[in-house]
Amino acid sequence: MSDRKKETILITGAAGFVGRAVAKALRAAGRRLVLVDQVRSADPEFPCVVCDISDAAQVRRVFESERIDGIVHLAAILPTAAQKDPSRATQVNVHGSLNLLMLAREFGVRRFVFGSSLSIYGACPKDVVVSETYHATPEDHYGETKLIAEVLGQSFAALQRMEFVSLRIGRVTGAGARSTTSAWRSEIFEFLRATGPVEIRIPYVASERILLVHVENVARAVVRLVEAGRLEHRIYNAPCESVLVGELKGWVEELNSNVRVVVGEREPEGNPRRVDWSRFRGEFGFEVVTVVEQLRRASTATLSG
């Protein structure tokens, strides 16, 4: 493990919500980091090299300037943007991933951790608990690009001496996401500090289940995959929680009476409602800090701060 601690890890999408949390967790674990993103990071503690991963020449310059031992690949065009511009999504999510895989092979990268998505499974029947062996039937372009990138990675791993592992991640929550299409994922934490009336809109029916994972749990899971001496599998469902929308509404409103959560009439699309992540739990002894506990901690921190 001491030799592993000296390795340099490249993180793509490092200026993003998940990327920032992963960079922080890996630095705390003692790793040297090379951070890249298509935009400059606003955090001076985690400066990024500006790099469009769909441009092979730009990516090559990063590999030629730094010794890269491992990769955490989080850069992607997200679902709403992918729907609006499927060509750009394909360039980044598929061709960008291929650029990284080819250079990882050329430069002798040991392990490639891919931030995949539970959207690979599509919207499954409500009572189905989805394991990693469940058939992949993505229902949107984002899910399709993630599946293609997974297939490419597994092909490279089968033919080359490189470990490729996919972590299929659900809806990520936590303060600071800066999402324009799913603002509620951050607001349920950020608005706990409200001293006057505020409203949060969650678009789903109260009786529906959604899979949620706090960004800190995602970061912890990625660190486990980076640091593990040997991986038993190539695909893992990320630790997450199946939460009733009505229960989530109740938790938030109970923690701060100034907050009103308005639920909608939509059914969740593109993701399963229940997932089996026992493969990850069993191999790594991993447990999540639940969403309600994260909300309580945020509320306590707000009151004490």
pLDDT at 44: 86
Question: What residues does each domain of the chain span?
Answer: 2-171+215-237, 172-211+240-270+289-304
pLDDT tens, position by position, 65-111: 999 999 999 999 999 999 999 999 999 999 999 999 999 999 999 99
Share of the chain above pLDDT 70, in %: 97
pLDDT at 1: 42
pLDDT band at residue 5 under the 50/70/90 scheme? low
pLDDT at 30: 94
**Do residues 177 and 185 lie in contact, with contact meaning Cβ atoms separated by under 8 Å?**
yes
Lowest mean pLDDT among 10-19, 175-184, 277-286: 175-184
Distance, in Å, from the CA atom of 301 to the CA atom of 192, rounded to the nearest integer, reads: 10
pLDDT tens, position by position, 146-171: 999 999 999 999 887 789 999 999 99
pLDDT band at residue 2 under the 50/70/90 scheme? very low
Task: Give the single-character DSSP code of 163.
Answer: E
SS3 label, residue 253: helix
Average pLDDT for 262-284: 95
SS3 label, residue 304: helix
Vertex 139: Cα angle to 243 and 82 (nearest 5): 95
**Do residues 59 and 103 lie in contact, with contact meaning Cβ atoms separated by under 8 Å?**
yes
pLDDT at 162: 87
Q: What is the mean pLDDT of the chain?
A: 93
**Matching residue, tokens 């919207």:** 123
Q: How far is CA 252 from CA 50, 74, 150, 296, in A?
A: 38, 29, 36, 9
User: Could you report how far apart the first and last alpha carbons of the chain are, in Å?
Assistant: 38
CATH class of 172-211+240-270+289-304: alpha beta
Residue 3 has pLDDT above 70, yes or no: no
pLDDT tens, position by position, 40-62: 887 888 999 999 999 999 999 99
β-bridge partners, 263? 202
pLDDT band at residue 130 under the 50/70/90 scheme? very high
**Do residues 237 and 279 lie in contact, with contact meaning Cβ atoms separated by under 8 Å?**
yes
On the question of a common fold for 2-171+215-237 and 172-211+240-270+289-304, the answer reads no
Distance, in Å, from the CA atom of 248 to the CA atom of 281, rounded to the nearest integer, reads: 24
pTM for this one?
Answer: 0.94
Structure token pair of residue 62 = 């990063």
SS3 label, residue 44: coil
β-bridge partners, 171? 212
pLDDT at 43: 82
CATH class of 2-171+215-237: alpha beta
pLDDT tens, position by position, 167-220: 999 999 999 988 778 999 999 999 998 999 999 999 999 999 999 999 999 999
**Do residues 37 and 16 lie in contact, with contact meaning Cβ atoms separated by under 8 Å?**
yes
Tell me which H or E stretch contains 36: strand 32-37
Task: Give the single-character DSSP code of 191.
Answer: G
